[in-house]
């Protein structure tokens, strides 16, 4: 990761955020259906990010102790447990399963 790479990544990420805020936001404010769509986008994208972080490694689907930790997180979220409890329980479960099975 050279300084040039860092600069290009920083500039490119900032540009996309600003484009979303100034171009995307204005369009959404004028079209109600698009605003509903936009309010659902975080759920869709987060659903995908969660899947990527819990059951994939590189470009393979991998079921391992992360999924058990995330199942615990899922139950706690559904039961409206406090966020800290959910996060600590998910990490602790994953760590314990990992330690027990020596992974």
Q: Hey, which residues between 8 and 67 contact other proteins (CB under 8 A)?
A: 8-10, 12-14, 16-29, 33-56, 58-61, 66
DSSP letters for 49-84: HHHHHHHEETTEE--SHHHHHHHHHHHHHHTT--HH
- Is 75 near other proteins (CB under 8 A)? no
Min dist CB 67 to other proteins, Å, is 9
Return the residue matching tokens 């990420």. 13
Task: Please state, as a whole number, how many other Cβ atoms lie within 10 Å of the Cβ of residue 68.
Answer: 17
With contacts defined by CB under 8 A, how many residues of the chain interact with other proteins?
77
Among 83, 100, 101, 102, binds other proteins (CB under 8 A): 83
Does 91 help bind other proteins (rule: CB under 8 A)? Answer: yes
What contacts 24, CB < 8 A, 6 or more positions away? Answer: 38
Q: Least CB distance from residue 95 to other proteins, whole Å? A: 3
Nearest approach in angstroms of CB 30 to other proteins is 9
């Amino acid at each position: 990761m050279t300084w040039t790479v860092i600069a290009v990544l920083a500039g490119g990420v900032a540009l996309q955020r600003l484009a979303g805020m100034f171009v995307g936001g204005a369009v959404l404010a004028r079209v109600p259906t698009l605003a509903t769509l936009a309010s659902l986008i975080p759920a869709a994208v987060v659903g995908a990010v969660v899947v990527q972080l819990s059951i994939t490694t590189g470009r393979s689907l991998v079921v391992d102790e992360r999924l058990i930790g995330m199942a615990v997180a899922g139950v706690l979220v559904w039961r409206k447990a406090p966020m800290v409890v959910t996060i600590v329980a998910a990490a602790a479960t994953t760590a314990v399963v990992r330690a027990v099975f020596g992974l």
